C-alpha cells in the first residue's frame, strides 16, 4: 500500500491536478503546455481549448477597467524573457463567459542547463479576500465616524462644562444685543483684528469664543491670555515661550501662547492692563507675526487672528500717555461694543430662564419660574456687575428658595444714578419754595418782613442759597 502511495506522489502531474490553486505551464514561446483542473474551474476555459496556444488573449487581455493589456506588458511573459520570479496583485483574469475575477499570482521560471525553457504561473481567486477587506474597511470607517462623533460630543460637553454660563450672555431680543450680534457674525468670517469693549461682567470672553467658533479657524485652538495677570517680564515668556536655561527656573523649553495659537485665534483679555514695556513687545509681534523665544535666536513665524478685550477707555488712556497709540490703532480695526445689562432690561426674563435652568442642574433644584415682582425689581436695578452679577444674585436666591417659584428675599442696592436724580428733584423743590417766599415778601431778603425771617435762615445763608440755586429777582 505504501509503495502505491509513493508511486502516486512521484507522479508530478497527478499532484498538480490535486492542487486547489490554478496552475498554468508555459513553454519558451509562451504557449500553454499544462493547465490543471482548478484553473479550468476558475476560468471556464477547458485545457483542450488552450493547450498549445498563447493564452494571454483568452484570460489576461484586459485590465480590471477593461483597458487593453498588451501581451508585451504581461508579467507572466516577462518571467519567460528575463527569468525573474514575480508576485502580482491587483490584476484580473477573464472567464470564458466574459466576466472577470481578481487574482493574486506568482510566476516562476523553469530552468534547464541554466537556460529558461518555460515558466509556471500559480494563481488564486481573491474575490472573497477582497470582499472581506472591503467589509473590514467599511466597518473601520463606521467606527472612525462614531469615534469622531463621540469626540466631537465630548468636546462639546467639555466646552459646555468649562464655560458654565456661556450661553446666557447672548440671550435676548433687545435692539442693542441684536445689533452687536449682527456685527459679530459679519466680522467672524474674516481674519480682521477685533477689539471687544464692555463693562465688567458683560461677557467679553463669550463674544470672543463665538467669533472664533464662527470663523474659518474654528478647527484650531482659541488661546486666552489674561494680560492683567503678568508683569512685563513674565508676559514675554508667557506669550513667546522660552528656551531651556533662558533664566533661573527655566528647566525645559516651553512654547508660548503665540505658538499654541498658530492657525487659530489669540484672545488678549484685559489688554488695557498691559504696562508700556509689555505694549512695546506685543506691538512688534502683532506687526510682524514673528518672534523669538526668550533665550533663543530662532525666528518663529505664526499665523494667528487677534481678538482683544477691555473694560477701559483705551483712547482716553492714549491721551493720558498710558497706552501706545500705534498699538491702539493696531487693535481697534473692528470694535464691538457689548451693551451693559441696564441698556437691555427687556432681555432679563430670557436671561433668568437660561440661568435658572443651569442652576437647577448645579444645585439639584426644580425651580420652574421667577415671580413677576422679582422680575420687575430686576428690570429696575442698575446692574453695575452686569450678567455676572445677575448670575450670582440668582444663584444666591435659588439656594434660599424651597419651592419651585423663585421670589427674591433680599432687596437690591440702590442705584447711585437714581439717588442723584432724587437729590436734583429736592433742589428744584427747594428753589421753587424760596422763590415763592421771595415773591410773597416782594423780594425783600432781610428785616422783620424779609424772606430770610420767614424761612428761618440768616440773611447770609439765604443769599448763599439763592446764588447756588441761580435765583434772581425777575425784571
Task: Give the whole-angstrom CA distance, residue 136 versus residue 247.
Answer: 54
CB 205 within 8 A of CB 309: yes
Instruction: Specify the pLDDT at position 183.
Output: 94
Instruction: Specify the pLDDT at position 413.
Output: 61
Instruction: Specify the pLDDT at position 475.
Output: 62
Strand ranges for 167-247 from DSSP E: 194-197, 222-226, 241-242
| Helix, strand, or coil (residue 93) | strand
- Among 154-163, 189-198, 243-252, 296-305, name the one with the lowest average pLDDT: 154-163
* Average pLDDT value for residue range 364-376: 89
- Among 108-112, 217-221, 274-278, 356-360, name the one with the lowest average pLDDT: 274-278
Q: Give me the percent of the chain exceeding a pLDDT of 70.
A: 88
| Helix, strand, or coil (residue 138) | helix
Instruction: Specify the pLDDT at position 13.
Output: 63
Instruction: Specify the pLDDT at position 336.
Output: 96
pLDDT at 162 over 50: no
* Average pLDDT value for residue range 169-188: 89
- Among 54-58, 73-77, 224-228, 236-240, name the one with the lowest average pLDDT: 236-240
Q: How far is CA 397 from the centre of its chain?
A: 35
pLDDT at 337 over 80: yes
Rank 19-33, 279-293, 448-462 by mean pLDDT and report only the highest: 19-33
Residue 389 CB contacts under 8 Å (≥ 6 apart), including other chains: 201, 341, 383
Instruction: Specify the pLDDT at position 247.
Output: 75
Instruction: Specify the pLDDT at position 386.
Output: 92
Task: Give the whole-angstrom CA distance, residue 253 versus residue 377.
Answer: 55
Instruction: Specify the pLDDT at position 419.
Output: 42
The neighbouring-strand residues paired with 222 are 265
When the pLDDT of each residue in the chain is averaged and rounded to a whole number, the result is: 83
Instruction: Specify the pLDDT at position 147.
Output: 62
* Average pLDDT value for residue range 162-173: 58
* Average pLDDT value for residue range 285-290: 84
pLDDT at 292 over 80: yes
Task: Give the whole-angstrom CA distance, residue 280 versus residue 437.
Answer: 65
pLDDT at 157 over 70: no
pLDDT at 60 over 80: yes
pTM: 0.53
- Among 89-93, 208-212, 241-245, 414-418, name the one with the lowest average pLDDT: 414-418
- Among 136-140, 243-247, 305-309, name the one with the lowest average pLDDT: 243-247
> pLDDT confidence of 420, banded at 50, 70, 90?
very low
> pLDDT confidence of 15, banded at 50, 70, 90?
low
Instruction: Specify the pLDDT at position 238.
Output: 83
Task: Give the whole-angstrom CA distance, residue 227 versus residue 287.
Answer: 18
* Average pLDDT value for residue range 104-114: 91
Give CA separation, 127 vs 41, 59, 81, 101, 133, in Å: 15, 16, 30, 7, 10
Amino acid at each position: 500500500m505504501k509503495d502505491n502511495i509513493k508511486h502516486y506522489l512521484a507522479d508530478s502531474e497527478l499532484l498538480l491536478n490535486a492542487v486547489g490553486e490554478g496552475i498554468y505551464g508555459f513553454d519558451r514561446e509562451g504557449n500553454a503546455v499544462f493547465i490543471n483542473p482548478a484553473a479550468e474551474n476558475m476560468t471556464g476555459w477547458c485545457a483542450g481549448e488552450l493547450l498549445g496556444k498563447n493564452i494571454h488573449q483568452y484570460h489576461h487581455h484586459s485590465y480590471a477597467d477593461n483597458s487593453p493589456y498588451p501581451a508585451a506588458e504581461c508579467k507572466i511573459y516577462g518571467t519567460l524573457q528575463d527569468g525573474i520570479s514575480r508576485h502580482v496583485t491587483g490584476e484580473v483574469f477573464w472567464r470564458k463567459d466574459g466576466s472577470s475575477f481578481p487574482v493574486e499570482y506568482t510566476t516562476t521560471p523553469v530552468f534547464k542547463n541554466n537556460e529558461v525553457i518555460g515558466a509556471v504561473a500559480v494563481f488564486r481567486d481573491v474575490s472573497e479576500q477582497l470582499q472581506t477587506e472591503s467589509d473590514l474597511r467599511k466597518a473601520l470607517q463606521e467606527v472612525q465616524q462614531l469615534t469622531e462623533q463621540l469626540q466631537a460630543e465630548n468636546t462639546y460637553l467639555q466646552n459646555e462644562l468649562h464655560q458654565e454660563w456661556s450661553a446666557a450672555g447672548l440671550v435676548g431680543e433687545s435692539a442693542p444685543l441684536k445689533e452687536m450680534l449682527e456685527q459679530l457674525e459679519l466680522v467672524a468670517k474674516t481674519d480682521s483684528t477685533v477689539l471687544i469693549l464692555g463693562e465688567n461682567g458683560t461677557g467679553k470672553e463669550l463674544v470672543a469664543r463665538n467669533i472664533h467658533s464662527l470663523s474659518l479657524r474654528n478647527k484650531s485652538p482659541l488661546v486666552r491670555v489674561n494680560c492683567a495677570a503678568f508683569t512685563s517680564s513674565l508676559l514675554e515668556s508667557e506669550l513667546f515661550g522660552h528656551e531651556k536655561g533662558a533664566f533661573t527656573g527655566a528647566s525645559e523649553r516651553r512654547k508660548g501662547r503665540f505658538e499654541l495659537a498658530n492657525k487659530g485665534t489669540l484672545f488678549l483679555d484685559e489688554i488695557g492692563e498691559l504696562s508700556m514695556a509689555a505694549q512695546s513687545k506685543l506691538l512688534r509681534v502683532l506687526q510682524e507675526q514673528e518672534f523669538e523665544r526668550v533665550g533663543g535666536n530662532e525666528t518663529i513665524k505664526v499665523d494667528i487672528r487677534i481678538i482683544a478685550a477691555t473694560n477701559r477707555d483705551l483712547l482716553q488712556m492714549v491721551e493720558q500717555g498710558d497706552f501706545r497709540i500705534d498699538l491702539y490703532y493696531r487693535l481697534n480695526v473692528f470694535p464691538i461694543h457689548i451693551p451693559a445689562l441696564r441698556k437691555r432690561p427687556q432681555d432679563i426674563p430670557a436671561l433668568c430662564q437660561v440661568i435658572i435652568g443651569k442652576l437647577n442642574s448645579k444645585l439639584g433644584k426644580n425651580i420652574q419660574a421667577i415671580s413677576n415682582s422679582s422680575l420687575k425689581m430686576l428690570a429696575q436695578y442698575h446692574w453695575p456687575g452686569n450678567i455676572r452679577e445677575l448670575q450670582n444674585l440668582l444663584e444666591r436666591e435659588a439656594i434660599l428658595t424651597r419651592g419651585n417659584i423663585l421670589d427674591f428675599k433680599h432687596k437690591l442696592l440702590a442705584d447711585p444714578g437714581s439717588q442723584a436724580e432724587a437729590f436734583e428733584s429736592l433742589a428744584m423743590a427747594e428753589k421753587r419754595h424760596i422763590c415763592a417766599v421771595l415773591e410773597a415778601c416782594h423780594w425783600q431778603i432781610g428785616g422783620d418782613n424779609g424772606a430770610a425771617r420767614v424761612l428761618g435762615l440768616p440773611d447770609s445763608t439765604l443769599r448763599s442759597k439763592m446764588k447756588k440755586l441761580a435765583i434772581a429777582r425777575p425784571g
